Amino acid sequence: MIVAVGTTNPAKTNAVREVLGDYPIFTALEIIYVQTDSGVSSQPMDEEETIQGAMNRARVAYSSIPDSSYGIGLENGLRRVPYTRTGFMNFGVCAIYDGHDFYLGESLAYEFPRKIVRLITENGFDASKAEREAGITISQDPEKGLVSFLTKDRITRKKYIKDAIRSALIALENPDLF
């Protein structure tokens, strides 16, 4: 079975490899990673745009690799959330595409620091640039990320990504319920 993944980002590729390895539906698995464009803005600012970015990446990955069984796309974005201190929360989306249907899942959502949100909303920065500009030092380990910094390593970026993938796999693994 071939699974095409629309990223070459190490945190995301490692998360995909580890999660799919836990599922018996992925036997004799070959994972191919391809660089894809999300087809949305570099910093999605709502749920619809973020989901669309993940779906676009999954569809392009699937179409890029002949004989793919699935394409996987991952996208992060912000969405407005009432009662939060900044008005926004960051979340991740996983889209799995089988050539006909999409299976969607989301990660946990968490609030970015005020300074980062301001740089994104007022200056149009993407999250990575806003983090650097805000002077928030993140580990050089790509599997940690801002969420790891904010949670004092209780949640890593890789775990956050893995949760989105696992939640997308719920409907795929239980087709009789969906």
Judge contact between 86 and 19, C-beta under 8 A: no
Q: What is the mean pLDDT of the chain?
A: 94
CATH ID of 2-111+155-177, from 3.30.465.10, 1.20.1080.10, 3.30.365.10, 3.90.950.10: 3.90.950.10
pLDDT at 136: 84
Q: Where are the alpha helices (DSSP H) in the chain?
A: 10-20, 47-64, 114-123, 127-134, 145-150, 157-173
pLDDT tens track for 72-100: 999 999 999 999 999 999 999 999 999 99
CA distance 54 to 6: 9
Kindly report the pTM of this predicted structure: 0.94
CA distance 39 to 76: 13
Per-domain residue ranges of the chain:
2-111+155-177
- The closest of 55, 54, 67, 72 to 2, measured between CA atoms, is 67
